[in-house]
Amino acid sequence: GQSLEQPSEVTAVEGAIVQINCTYQTSGFYGLSWYQQHDGGAPTFLSYNALDGLEETGRFSSFLSRSDSYGYLLLQELQMKDSASYFCAVDSSYKLIFGSGTRLLVRP
Amino acid sequence: DSGVTQTPKHLITATGQRVTLRCSPRSGDLSVYWYQQSLDQGLQFLIHYYNGEERAKGNILERFSAQQFPDLHSELNLSSLELGDSALYFCASSASTGAPDGYTFGSGTRLTVV
């Protein structure tokens, strides 16, 4: 079977750094993706890690450790507009399997 | 505008009925994916079509079916609807069959079964 675990909620202060962790168990694995979804909106693609290590895209970075079946999304210099749900997703044989999502609340 | 078009945006129907959700992928994308998102839940994978052929299937109910047409648009048919089918249904597209460049999601169809 396939399962992904991520915290249900995280709260942080504007300007701070927050890390959202994701652990996964899957029968097939090609990479780990991260998506952002604002309330009532469509998910939008943030990053994809196929290999171990850190990928940086502006204020967002994503990390993968294949041996530990673990990844995280790092958000720096948090802004109010970053308040949203963040989903990790495993790329597994012609489909993305999504976690249940982490709701991030950024406080002033 | 993501380039992925889903219609209708909202749908209210009664139990036992049948509905069809439509998706036009982003120009040039050959893959279409369907996902179901219930209230405050994650995205449940339903099915993936690539250039008209089914490539992967999730835990899609037998009451649900989908197809991708030669012009690459896709339809998701939901029949014998139950209250529990109320959800947001997203379509996404990608250029190939992989995910490295990300899926582009449409704005979704909100289905309410009463």
Judge whether A71 and A61 are in contact, CB under 8 Å.
no
Share of chain B above pLDDT 70, in %: 99
d(CA A65, CA B99): 18
Report in angstroms the alpha-carbon separations of A86 from A52, A65, A75, A98, B13: 20, 19, 11, 10, 31
A107–B contact, CB cutoff 8 A: no
pLDDT tens digits, B47-101: 999 999 999 999 899 999 999 999 999 999 999 999 999 999 999 999 988 889 9
Name the nearest CA neighbour of A73 among A101, A92, A39: A101
**How many other CB atoms are there within 10 angstroms of residue B54's CB atom?**
13
Across chain A, mean pLDDT equals 96
Contact (CB<8Å) A98/B35: yes
pLDDT tens digits, A41-97: 999 999 999 999 999 999 999 999 999 999 999 999 999 999 999 999 999 989 999
pLDDT number for residue B96? 87
Query: Which residues in chain A are closer than 8 Å to B97, comparing Cβ atoms?
Result: 94
Cβ contacts below 8 Å, chain A against chain B, sum to 62
